Amino acid sequence: MATRERVMIFDTTLRDGEQSPGCSMNAAEKVRVARQIDRMGVDIIEAGFPIASDGDFHAVQAVAQAARRPIIAALARCRREDIERAWQALAGAARPRIHTFLATSDIHLEHKLKMSRRECLEQARDAVSLAKSMCDDVQFSPEDASRTDRDFLCEVVQAVIEAGATTLNIPDTVGYSVPLEFADLIHEIRSRVRGVEGVVISAHCHNDLGLATANALAAVEAGARQVECTVNGIGERAGNTSIEEFVMAMRVRPDRYAFDTMVASEQLYPASQFLSEITGVAVQPNKAIVGRNAFAHEAGIHQDGILKNALTYEIMTPESVGVPGTSLVLGKHSGRHALAIRCSELGFDLERRELDRVYRDFVVLADKNKSVNDGQIVELIAAVRAIPSEIVPSQSHGDRIPLRHDSGGSPASRTAPPGQPEGVEMPRLFAADHDGEQQEDYLWGV
């Protein structure tokens, strides 16, 4: 496969992510999360906002000591004391970056900062000059860029580039933008601002309309080469672009995105679980890529398809993102195919008629309960066979059947189907020994 252009990942889980309610972390916790984020292979870790508290100052210092490979960024408002504090916190970093920001939209200037556009431009330029006198690597963000007057935005951006900024981060601070518009904003900056070709353009998108990942992808298509992300998409209010969504969109659709990141995708799920454990904030079950339902199937038609060929309902393998495997949930929508497999795993190879009877009782039970566990399945079998019901299954999986994909993973079994790009790790095929060729007739009476 041809080499694809690289998009850098700026992970802000420890800064913007930490600003989300319930997600704040102390220095020791930040170091543990930073190690996992480093393991993923991100390019930059934003470790905190040193002026905000002594705790955050020490956290940035500790992360800078612990993670030597990636660039470590510290946030600072466009104020001398913030920039000096950020630089002190970064003193021990192998590769430091000062990230300074100032709001540029009229609504922020008038109501929050009570500052004129002229004052804003001067403060941004002076702050970047000061940061540059300390650190070669300076990132500037015009906060609320997507709601800023475009002429003024271009003026500010040009001034900070002249003052020495090396990365220009364009935030959709309130998650207001939509993909075509955000792409257009990046295009306009690239075509109007002198010197912009010498800096990296970055996108920082919030998820208030659920568009953070879509906007980040649109920005990359328009020329951004850094994207700011967080693990599990945590961040202010509805959060930021989620690293797992952004990375996997590029991996699964190289036909649409001629770019890639350095992220080791099999570390995505471990990072998600680890962060959730540290913060105590659960991942929503239907969260793309890392939610507990992302590779779980309950509907009989889907389970049947998955058992015949995982490509029917999965666009990536669970293993490719570090998820242990596909699971089939036994509930009222499940079919006989999945039930038969579970019975067999519990030691009962049922005859067709037996399976029909067990399945009939299973549907009645599943209709009452949300799901049916191993013990209940054994009881159903016992009732049908009139055998003692106190047989205890050797290994209980609760209401989920973890599916083991064929371990051989032969090249043929990974060939992309028509319409899917070659070279992407696709779900493996299942069970050549599957005996039914027809679609699951799991709905009785249908």
Chain residues that interact with ligand KIV, rule: CB under 6 A: 16, 101, 141, 143, 169, 171, 173, 204, 206
Shortest distance in whole angstroms from residue 141 CB to Zn ion: 8
Please identify, using beta-carbon distances, which residue of 143 and 155 lies nearer to Zn ion: 143
Q: Choose from Zn ion, ligand KIV, none: what does 164 bind? Cβ within 5-8 Å by kind.
A: none
Sorted by sequence, the CB contacts under 8 Å of residue 243 that are 6+ apart come out as 9, 11, 13, 40, 42, 229, 230, 231, 233, 263, 268, 271
The residue among 258, 220, 225 whose CA lies nearest residue 421 is 258
CB nearer to ligand KIV: give 155 or 172.
172
For residue 287, the partner it binds in Zn ion, ligand KIV, none, with Cβ less than 5 to 8 A by kind, is none
Query: What's the closest the beta carbon of residue 331 comes to ligand KIV, in angstroms?
Result: 40
Q: Which does 132 bind (CB under 5 to 8 A by kind): ligand KIV, Zn ion, none?
A: none
Least distance from ligand KIV to the Cβ atom of residue 299, Å: 39
Collect all residues with Cβ–Cβ distance below 8 Å to 139 and sequence separation of at least 6: 73, 97, 98, 99, 100, 165, 166, 167, 168, 169, 202
**From ligand KIV, Zn ion, none, which one binds at residue 48 (CB under 5 to 8 Å depending on kind)?**
none
Task: Please identify the residue of the shown chain whose CB is closest to the bound ligand KIV.
Answer: 171
Structure tokens at 331: 């509930």
Nearest distance in Å: CB 339, Zn ion: 47
18 binds, among ligand KIV, Zn ion, none (CB under 5 to 8 A by kind): none
DSSP 32: H
Of the pair 171, 291, the CB lying nearest Zn ion is at 171
Between 216 and 366, whose beta carbon lies closer to ligand KIV?
Answer: 216
Nearer to ligand KIV, 33 or 212 (CB): 212
- Degrees to nearest 5, angle at CA 269 with 263 and 270: 95
Report the nearest approach of ligand KIV to the CB of residue 74 (Å). 12
Question: Is 160 exposed, middle or buried (CB count within 10 Å of its CB: 0-12, 13-18, 19+)?
Answer: buried
Q: Of the two residues 179 and 335, which places its CB atom closer to Zn ion in the complex?
A: 179
For residue 164, give the DSSP letter. T
* Three-point CA angle 242, 297, 424, nearest 5°: 55
Q: Smallest gap, in angstroms, from Cβ of residue 241 to Zn ion?
A: 10
CB of 334 to ligand KIV, least distance (A): 43
20 interacts with, out of ligand KIV, Zn ion, none, CB within 5 to 8 A per kind: none
With respect to ligand KIV, which residue has the nearer C-beta, 167 or 320? 167
**Which tokens hold the place of 161?**
């580039």
Least Å from the CB of residue 173 to Zn ion:
6
Say which residue the tokens 């609760």 belong to: 398
101 binds, among ligand KIV, Zn ion, none (CB under 5 to 8 A by kind): ligand KIV
Residue nearer to ligand KIV on the CB measure, 238 or 365? 238
Q: Which does 179 bind (CB under 5 to 8 A by kind): Zn ion, ligand KIV, none?
A: none
Q: Measuring CA to CA, how many Å separate 17 from each of 172, 186, 236, 409?
A: 15, 24, 7, 37
Q: For residue 121, give the 3-state DSSP assignment.
A: helix
Interacting residue ranges for Zn ion, rule: CB under 5 A: 16
Three-state secondary structure call for residue 441: coil
Q: How far apart are CA 334 and CA 345, in angstroms?
A: 16
Residue placing its CB nearer to Zn ion in the complex, 233 or 305? 233
Cα-Cα-Cα-Cα dihedral sign, residues 345, 348, 354, 359: negative
CB of 352 to ligand KIV, least distance (A): 60
